[in-house]
Amino acid sequence: MKIDINEVPEFYRTYVRFLQDETVVEQLQSSAKEFNYLLNTFSNEKAEYRYEEGKWSIKDLIQHIIDSERVFCYRAMRFARNDKIELPGFEQDDYAEIASADRRDIQDLMSEFTSTRYSTISFFSALSEEDLKRTGLANGTEFSVEVLGYVISGHLLHHLEVIREKYL
């Protein structure tokens, strides 16, 4: 990883431990490739599997990853533009419940993920070093724009690990 772990807020360090020694854009690209490689093998039926009562399905996980990426990228955009207004958190379980991902086709979800990730990569690719170093507050925590990019990738890789451990 090309970022100092001490720059990453404590809670998010569990995500960035999965990262390679790559720039934020390289990491966004490589994590998406790994995700697509694994998930494009899932059927709709397999993607609706829950390893335990009350746990999310693979479809729920994909939707959660998309939603989280949009929130983190929005935060990064606001901070990159030097917006100093503190941003609120979001409740992932409420989002997952209302999204009803299991009614969607897995290929549709994967297409949405790919579009979302392409947009994220485009955004981060356009940032200068100065932009990447800007910071802001979200949910009471200070983040740099660059750290948010790494958190996006790490969050995805964290859930890939969960999929490998609990769903395969």
Number of domains in the chain: 1
Query: Measuring CA to CA, how many Å separate 124 from each of 69, 104, 117, 145?
Result: 13, 29, 11, 9
Residues constituting the chain: 168
**For residue 11, what is the domain's CATH number?**
1.20.120.450
Query: In this predicted structure, what is the pLDDT of residue 93?
Result: 87
Which residue segment(s) compose the domain that 42 sits in?
A: 5-166
Predicted TM-score (pTM) of the model is: 0.94
Cα–Cα distance between 151 and 4 in angstroms, integer?
Answer: 13
Among 27, 20, 21, which residue's Cα sits nearest to residue 148?
27
The pLDDT tens digits of the residues spanning 72-128 come to 999 999 999 999 999 999 999 899 989 999 999 999 999 999 999 999 999 999 999
What pLDDT, on the 0 to 100 scale, is given for residue 80?
Answer: 98
